[in-house]
Amino acid sequence: MKDLFGKAILDYQTNNSPEDLITETSISEADEMSVAYLFRDFKEMPKLEQKALQLAKGKVLDVGCGAGSHALYLQEKGFDVTAIDISENAIKACVLRGLKNCKVSDVLDLDSSEKFGTILLLMNGTGIFEKMNQISKFLQKLKSLLNEGGQILIDSSDLIYMYDQDEDGAYEVPASGYYGELTFTIQYKGETEDTFNWLYLDYNTLQNAAIANGLECELILEGKHFDYLAKLTKI
């Protein structure tokens, strides 16, 4: 990986002529994304993210922290926050922004002896699962990082609305695979990132996966565009 997403974040933080990111998926055309959006404050965040931050309790782990906006908000509120991301450049930006405890890490590589009261996975947190066949692996790891009474707050979107409907109202989704399994491509400053897998989950699918892995799943809030926030806790 060229870490172009992280490069854009670091460029914005250091005022190094940042440009918009160009994102494209296997079911959508190229679209521009302003890097400034990743630096939004609480008032600018979607209601799903605001709600997740308001529900935070105990020691917090922010998985896939990006520019660190969620972790910084909680840090300022007095929370003990650990923020992780696989992007080295993003973590460099987080350090420059004043995040006290952040590191380059994949959540699967964390030591399960450290426990958290809240684990955040926001901005389509299910994306890091990549594929349907990896959901259990990630949920089991996340579960192992929870202390007693701990919670996983995760958001995603049901992408069914992206597909056409036939005259009977049935959605014309691919016959093979799950319709929320996408491939993503990012372009930044003329460079193209290696294509990567990204998973969007509808709520019922997440709920079934959670139950199969010994987790209760509660729908906390639904957004305007088929997106939702869910809370997972140990059964």
Q: What is the pLDDT of residues 70-102, one digit of tens each?
A: 999 999 999 999 999 999 999 999 999 999 999
| Residue-level pLDDT at 175 | 74
- pLDDT for 120: 98
Hey, what are 70's tokens?
């969620």
- Mean pLDDT over the full length of the chain: 96
Angle at 198 between CA 37 and CA 151, to 5 degrees: 75
Segment 15-65, tens digit of pLDDT:
999 999 999 999 999 999 999 999 999 999 999 999 999 999 999 999 999
Q: Residue 170: pLDDT above 80?
A: no
CA atoms within 13 A on the CB side of 63: 26
- High-pLDDT (> 90) share of the chain, %: 91
Q: Yes or no: say if 72 and 96 are a contact pair by the CB < 8 Å rule.
A: no
Residues in the chain, overall count: 235
